[in-house]
Amino acid sequence: MSKVVWKPGTLLAPVPAVMVSCGTMEKSNIITIAWTGIVNSDPAMTYISVRPSRYSYDLIRESGEFVINLTNDKLIRATDLCGVRSGRDGDKFQLAKLTKEPASQLACPMIAESPISLECRVKQVMPLGSHDMFLAEIVAVNVDESLLDEKGKLHLSRAGLMSYSHGEYFGQGRRLGSFGCSVRKKTPPKKTNKRK
């Protein structure tokens, strides 16, 4: 396969399209973020990268906390709206018809309509150029009960999570395998006793 070499760019795709809520229950905002991910398992840590010119930047910098709210197909319009409108121009919770929900460990609100919300406490702010990265510890995870089975097992496939790739939003596709499938021994088919 031949490849064309391009200049360096942000073409790691797809990426999550999340709504990050910040501020307080009284003075809050939502910013749509695609630059986010997991950086550590123990303690559980994540990051978001935000331009210093964004309205949410100062709210997060001052409070040292934010909530990453995962998005799904039902939240596509709200996710897009919170990415193209500024919190300086109005209350995005009202504009996007979203519901504030108190977080368990933080003063900033969660988005009630989000299937999963990660409460995050900032540990470090790293200026990187166009964006500053907020490195944060995940202090609580809030999961919609409809994603759990009777034994409490999470079925993330039920959430209909959304991703972002090169200016477009996408739903998750079909399952291709599971972790460890390359080294797992294939189980021979069970023999059945067929009597004539």
Mean pLDDT in the chain? Answer: 93
Bridge partners, residue 163, by sequence: 16, 170
| Domains in the chain, CATH or no CATH each | 15-171 (2.30.110.10)
Q: Report the range of poorest mean pLDDT among 36-45, 58-67, 82-91, 168-177.
A: 168-177
For residue 114 the two structure tokens come to 């989000």
Q: What is the pLDDT of residues 76-90, one digit of tens each?
A: 999 999 999 999 999
Q: What is the pTM of this model?
A: 0.91
Kindly provide the residue ranges of all beta strands, DSSP E only, lying in the chain, ordered along the sequence: 15-16, 18-23, 28-33, 36-40, 45-50, 65-69, 100-102, 109-111, 116-127, 132-143, 162-165, 168-171
Distance CA 80, CA 76 (A): 6
